[in-house]
Amino acid sequence: MTEGERTGWVHDIRWASRLAWRDSRGAKGKGFLYALSMALGIATLVALGSFGADMRQALAGQTKNLLGADLVVYSRQPFSETAQKLLTPLPGRRAETKRFGTMAHFPKTDQAVLSRIRAMGDGFPFYGEILTEPADAAATYQQGPRALVDAVLLERVGAQVGEEIRLGQQTFTIHGKILETPGVPPAASVMGPRVYISLDYVAATGLLQQGSRVFYSYAYQFPDSFDGDAWVETNKKDLRTERLSWSTVNEQRQQIGDDMDNLTAFLSLTALLTLLLGGLGVAGAVHYHVQQKTRQIGVLRCLGATVRQVVIVYMIQVMTMTLFAVVVGVAVGLGLQLFLPALIREFFPVAFEPSFQGYEVLLAAGWGFLLSFLLALAPLVAVRRVSPLVSFRAFLNPPKADWLQYACYGAVILIWLVFAVMRTGSFQIGGLFLLGLIAAVGILYLTARLLAVAARRVSKMGLPFTWRHGVASLFRPQNQTLILMVILGMGIFLIAVLGGARTMLIGQFSDVRQREKPNFIAWDIQVDQLDSVLAISREMGVEPQNITPIVPMRIEAINGKSIGDLLATDIPHWALRREYRSSYRAELGDSEKVIEGEFTGQVAADIEVVPISLEQDIAADLQVALGDRLTLDVMGIPLETEITSIRDVEWQSMAPNFFIIFPAGILEAAPQMFMFNGRTQSAEQVADLQRAIIKNNPNVMCVDLTQMVKTFDGILDKAATMVQFLAGLCMLTGLVLLGSALWNSRYQRMGEHALLRTLGAQTRQVAWITLTEYLLLGLLASLTGVVLAVIANWALGLFLFKVDPFPQPLVFLVPCLTLPPLTLLLGYLSHRDLWRTPAIFVLRGEN
């Protein structure tokens, strides 16, 4: 070593840093643009990680408030003597509550709205407080005929605190406006606004009549020494026998926590997938970068640079790009975090403010850095294999992939798996999540590939020159067409599936929107009220249709096996415990058809075993078939029945449908209620009819389905925002990646354009070739996403929602039409200056 020379790691890094900086001149924008696609993925990881931590903290801080008690035991019928005995030994405080639905009438504005009534015993909730305006209303409303009313409801009817609200036969003073109820997400208020009254005034309303749907419950506050969970565990069997259900704080927290963890895990993994796809784009770019630099690397090696020194140069560039992605990603992620609570607030039972979650930020940044770095490093390791001899050769064999490259990609998959397992807390679920996402991307990739092959074939079928070249340009080496099709396709897929699912859900109510179909339902009409209610309806211009009797009943036994024994089987508990609101008819309606057996429409009143018809899904849930016997408890009287037919029911029709249909002739004398529906012409007519009906029949409930569908649509809109957020992120990442790929190949394109123009192509033709390429890219990406979305929607419609999967095919067309103009615009903006550059400048290298 000559005097003054420096060697070793420090020198190598210093020299490499200087060269890395110099080498990046003029290419920093390109590098940073690529980093941006990674930054978007990291930003989502940071935002969702922090958001998940915010939610967990919010839940942890308000565990008991979620339930308002240590234990709540529910029943769908008044607690039996045995049930009371079972609960008597429970120590501490107890509060009784009753929940039921009714029309709440606001005399001042003369409006009636279907509401959920909560009649609360003294002291409930034991934990947490109902936030009201005025603040002390929650503490004093039980001291008289006073009611707390949901703010949403007051706003809807234009009522104020201090005015009156009428529930059945009792008038209450609106004592306070409910702003927040512990454990109740705001969306619940929109679908069913709540009114709180004291339990002492329930009887005065006269609403709890025979056959009314009421949920009874006892809430308990235990002394610290008492273990409620252990008590439930010990008495589970007896509770089930008495058809009681229960919630403990731990179960409630676990359930909400699990739901939220699953949601954030899914979102995080999808974000990670976006990061991975963006990262693959970057890997492609680095691969191209290395290819471009091969000769330079050879020269450096000739000049005496060691492999280590050369690798460090490019490693520093990649690390800088990745660090930039992490810094930008963290900053953007922290910004996004501020908006996320608002997206989920409607569905989350606890309000919370976003706070800085250092650990989550560090974790997300760490994962993001590792993944991004490995993805960028994989193509970089090829630098090691560049021979200095390449400086002398005109044609080069590209360096082959080696084991280190495969190790990098292997590490990426491993890191992803570890992340998935950590996020879901289960190797199995994490693995399944990962497999699911890989399968989704695999299918997207295959679809993209098939479409690409098809496009190539089509281009050979005598297309005009510009179109042919446009298609060919799609598949130039560093275009990353397939990656772009996958990532943009994923965005389109999410948007189209979301849109499709929504139209399916709303489509179930499409009858409501049809002019002649019923859009108004009234139910819980007592026998002695029926004639007057029907008369009112006719007077108000609404002809009652489908006047149907309803007889509530419960399952006592199936094939002689008691409910207690059945609860120990794998038959869903809800199907065994629920109250079956059934009907009887001589003929089946238009919206149902027998698929097995034969429907019996009429029987003699003294028949011993009544032939009944079951809806096919409930039959499957109850694990029964034709010939099986059900013992039904009809208002205390056991009735032996036999399944003689199974029906397929169109639930989405507006006709009254039931799980169990009896023949005429047997239930006519049983205690029953009626319902009917009709067609109203306007919201005003509905309001008038509701007012007129409940004026003298306060227990009757009515609903305007048109309004309900609108509300439901609004809720779906809010529920969709999280997925839309992810879809938007995918699209943005894809577009950033597209911009980057474009920049990457800019000089190659510039040369090709100049050459084409030199050979006689007109600027218009060159421009058309480029625009064709971008239009096709947008179209192919859209098609990739939409093809999959159509398949996904078909499966959803067929197996989950069980409705027509494509009520509005337009929903798939809209995203299809959005992306191509976007890519076209991007292509135009990025190329217009290239078209203007004189060819000679380009060929001389003077651009």
Partner 1 sequence: MNEILRVAQVAKRYESVGRSVDVLRDTSFTLYAGESAAIVGPSGSGKTTLLGLCAGLDTPTSGSLTLLGADLAAMSEGERAALRNRKVGFIFQSFHLMPSLTALENVTLPLELLGRGNAEQAAITLLDQVGLADRRHHYPAQLSGGEQQRVAIARAFINQPEILFADEPTGNLDLETSERITDLLFTLNREQGTTLLLITHDLELAKKTGRLFRINHGQLMEETNQQAQIAEVAL
- Using CB under 8 A, list all residues that contact partner 1: 2, 4-7, 11, 15, 18-19, 22-27, 295-296, 298-309, 387-389, 391-393, 845
Distance CA 714, CA 347 (A): 13
Q: How many CB atoms lie within 10 A of CB 639?
A: 21
Distance CA 512, CA 489 (A): 34
Nearer to partner 1, 388 or 671 (CB): 388
Q: Classify strands 629-634 and 545-558 as parallel, antiparallel or unpaired.
A: antiparallel
Least distance in angstroms from the C-beta of 372 to partner 1: 24
**DSSP letter, residue 667:** S
Q: For residue 310, what are the CA distances in angstroms to 288, 304, 315, 332, 826? A: 17, 10, 9, 33, 36
Least distance in angstroms from the C-beta of 386 to partner 1: 11
Least distance in angstroms from the C-beta of 12 to partner 1: 9
Instruction: Write down the number of H helices and E strands in the chain.
Output: 27, 21
Q: For residue 419, what are the CA distances in angstroms to 37, 234, 409, 412? A: 20, 38, 15, 10
Nearer to partner 1, 390 or 777 (CB): 390
Nearer to partner 1, 23 or 200 (CB): 23
Nearer to partner 1, 14 or 457 (CB): 14
Bond preceding residue 134 cis, omega within 30 of 0: yes
Distance CA 220, CA 356 (A): 36
Distance CA 184, CA 618 (A): 29
Distance CA 374, CA 17 (A): 20
Amino acid identity for residue 720 in this structure = A
Residue 226: strand, helix, or coil: coil
Distance CA 569, CA 576 (A): 11
Nearer to partner 1, 116 or 749 (CB): 749
Residue 592: strand, helix, or coil: strand
Nearer to partner 1, 391 or 613 (CB): 391
Least distance in angstroms from the C-beta of 500 to partner 1: 50
Query: In 3D, which of 370, 267, 40, 221 has the Cα closest to residue 724?
Result: 267
DSSP secondary structure, 680-743, as one string: -SSHHHHHHHHHHHHHH-TT-EEEEHHHHHHHHHHHHHHHTHHHHHHHHHHHHHHHHHHHHHHH
Nearer to partner 1, 393 or 561 (CB): 393
Least distance in angstroms from the C-beta of 33 to partner 1: 17
Distance CA 196, CA 218 (A): 16
Per the structure block, which two tokens stand in for 180? 């927040």
Nearer to partner 1, 98 or 301 (CB): 301
Least distance in angstroms from the C-beta of 844 to partner 1: 10
Least distance in angstroms from the C-beta of 845 to partner 1: 6
Nearer to partner 1, 6 or 456 (CB): 6
- Whether 748 contacts 454, CB under 8 Å: no
Least distance in angstroms from the C-beta of 29 to partner 1: 13
Per the structure block, which two tokens stand in for 181? 């109820």
Least distance in angstroms from the C-beta of 387 to partner 1: 7
Least distance in angstroms from the C-beta of 335 to partner 1: 34
Nearer to partner 1, 306 or 569 (CB): 306
Least distance in angstroms from the C-beta of 833 to partner 1: 18
Amino acid identity for residue 479 in this structure = N
Per the structure block, which two tokens stand in for 710? 């609108």
Nearer to partner 1, 305 or 563 (CB): 305
Least distance in angstroms from the C-beta of 440 to partner 1: 41
Nearer to partner 1, 392 or 651 (CB): 392
